[in-house]
Amino acid sequence: MTATALAPADQLTRDVLARLAEAPDPRIRETLGALVRHLHAFVREIAPTESEWAAAIDFLTRTGQICTDRRQEFILLSDTLGVSMLVDEINHGRGGATTETTVLGPFYVADPPDVEAGGDIARGLPGAPLFVEGFIYSQSGAPLAGAIIDVWQSDDQGRYDLQFDDPGQFFMRGRLRADDLGRFSFWSIMPRSYPIPTDGPAGALLAAAGRHAYRPAHVHFRISGAGHDDLITHVFVRGDQYLTSDVVFGVKDSLIADFEHRTRTISLVGAPIERAHRYLRYDFVLPTASAATVAAQ
């Protein structure tokens, strides 16, 4: 019985996969094989013209060209297509046992300035005063003394410091350390909902899809502690109009909190605050280190 010949396009896919079969690293072999199968299926489905495919290549070229040490357009592209949150869910879906995670975003800075407990990360920028405090716990329920807490956020105009004109100054970000009881605290100003940068390819793609570019107001946290996986998350302002349509799909119900209006607060360390301010109390629970984390250490 004569075997049915494959269509030229199907034969091409088989030929490409055959060339990958001898890749020495099994994970690379698996990953490239899946990429070829899905990419070829995508091209078959949409049947692009040559000019459309050239436009797609130009789009990716421009995405790379706009990237700098202060802007990462590929992260924006990943975020706005929901890929960043998909990767997050695959790696960190925990069903509520520990604090839920969300995207890192394009505005994180490694090794931000140190901030003392109760210090002001806004560094004089105008806005409604915000006092933030809480505990860092281990998954076991024990306080995580000495945990490192990186925080960053937008100002009250919806801008991050990386978008300011002066590249040498940092505002609305800092690194704190939890005390022996796992407590942390800092002053800031109320963040505001904001559009992601739309002057590049990611923004053009949003416009073509008829989507808005806004994120709901939030404060970012990246928390690490010995023997634990890092926690990357946000705390969102309850009532923000973009909570149900976050451009990067990053909102989770457990991460929405009240930023209370107050005129008086007794902080967790017993210090009184006797002026009008907004107040956020949020406790974080870190997962114990995964096997992958232990192997990497």
| Tens-place pLDDT, residues 9-59 | 899 999 999 999 999 999 999 999 999 999 999 999 999 999 999 999 999
Q: Where are the beta strands (DSSP E) in the chain?
A: 129-138, 148-153, 173-177, 183-189, 194-195, 214-215, 218-224, 231-237, 256-257, 260-262, 265-266, 272-273, 277-281, 284-286
- The mean per-residue pLDDT over the stretch 141-151 comes to 97
Residue 137 lies inside a defined structural domain of this protein:
yes
Residue 1 lies inside a defined structural domain of this protein:
no
Q: At 198, phi and psi to the nearest 5?
A: -115, 10
Residue 175 lies inside a defined structural domain of this protein:
yes
Catalytic residues, by residue number, are: 160, 194, 215, 218, 220
Domain enclosing residue 223, as ranges? 73-296
Let me know whether 120 and 17 are in one domain.
no
pTM of the model as a whole: 0.90
Per-residue pLDDT at 5 exceeds 80: no
Residue 67 lies inside a defined structural domain of this protein:
no
| Tens-place pLDDT, residues 188-226 | 999 999 999 999 999 999 999 999 999 999 999 999 999
Let me know whether 255 and 134 are in one domain.
yes
Let me know whether 116 and 14 are in one domain.
no
Please state the domain count of the chain.
2
Let me know whether 31 and 110 are in one domain.
no
Let me know whether 41 and 145 are in one domain.
no
